[in-house]
Structure 1
């Protein structure tokens, strides 16, 4: 879904990029911003900094002049914008895939532990499951590994252990999915704002900020 949204924004930006009138008779070399980031760079993203690098300065920098002055300037900014939207699309897809893998890994760890407990094995390894609680992307005071129920050798606590694990898995998965959705909304909002600023400048409006 987010990919469709980002692609739609990119298409809107591409159509808007033709709005600039291009003065002739001037040749210059203008910088083109690059965004050489992929899924391996997701570790640098935090809740307070959802993107590694911001939108092209040619579109978002505060300017008191009237839009783009030179054709080469416009063309360079247009390419920077394309690079930026490609980057947003990559980051959105990386976040979607990363979240899917995290939730699936947690599911497998919980299932393995539950199956072990149901088989009445004397010692079931709970370390991976406990780690999922520690790495939870949400803060909830009641979301703790059910140590008492799950670490009792008395089988009468088994049903409570399994029930709590099932409920907690849903909460843990929801926390990661909610974090993903917040990230995608931030990317979408950033894309919308970048398009607005670029269009303002491309339309030669004054005071684009």
Structure 2
């Protein structure tokens, strides 16, 4: 029988050191020491390159071949410690770029909605069209509570531009115009605005409300663009 098993210990097994906390700490210290030595060697190398003028020969050129103020200059004219500082910052910038989280996805737009149970509104209702035309968008109603909200009708104010021009509220249509909102339900509806050819281009703003729910409202913006740029 194996002597290690006779003694009731696993010290002779090759993977036993994995559970040795002292050995793990010593290994981590050795890794940190190696990293420190590598960093020190890199800094010393930068210093030697700066003092040698980045010529790669290990000795600066004589004053007979180059003026004294250019003796330690690099290819871009930096002298003294400037090449060292520039190189150091370039290296640090690379490390930061690699370690920084990448935001590869664009921000997701907020869907305009009215939460009837919590009396909260999210986003804004944005519509866009050319003259003449029809602007179309979608808005959602949510009822996350246990109570049936019955039938809900949306209303919109006149839309006002900065110069006082208005889009009348009667030109705003909702499909469907009456929405049943039972408990724990969500409903989407289409919003349309008819834009006549006599309306000037610009941005028209107003407010969307829900009948019977006075505490919630949603900003509305209609952007009218000219047919030709």
Instruction: Please say whether Structure 1 and Structure 2 have the same fold, judged by a TM-score greater than 0.5.
Output: no
Query: Larger % of strand: which?
Result: 2
Higher-Rg structure is 2
Select the structure with the greater relative contact order (CA < 8 A; seq sep ≥ 6): 1
Query: Larger % of helix: which?
Result: 1
TM-score normalised by structure 1 residue count: 0.25
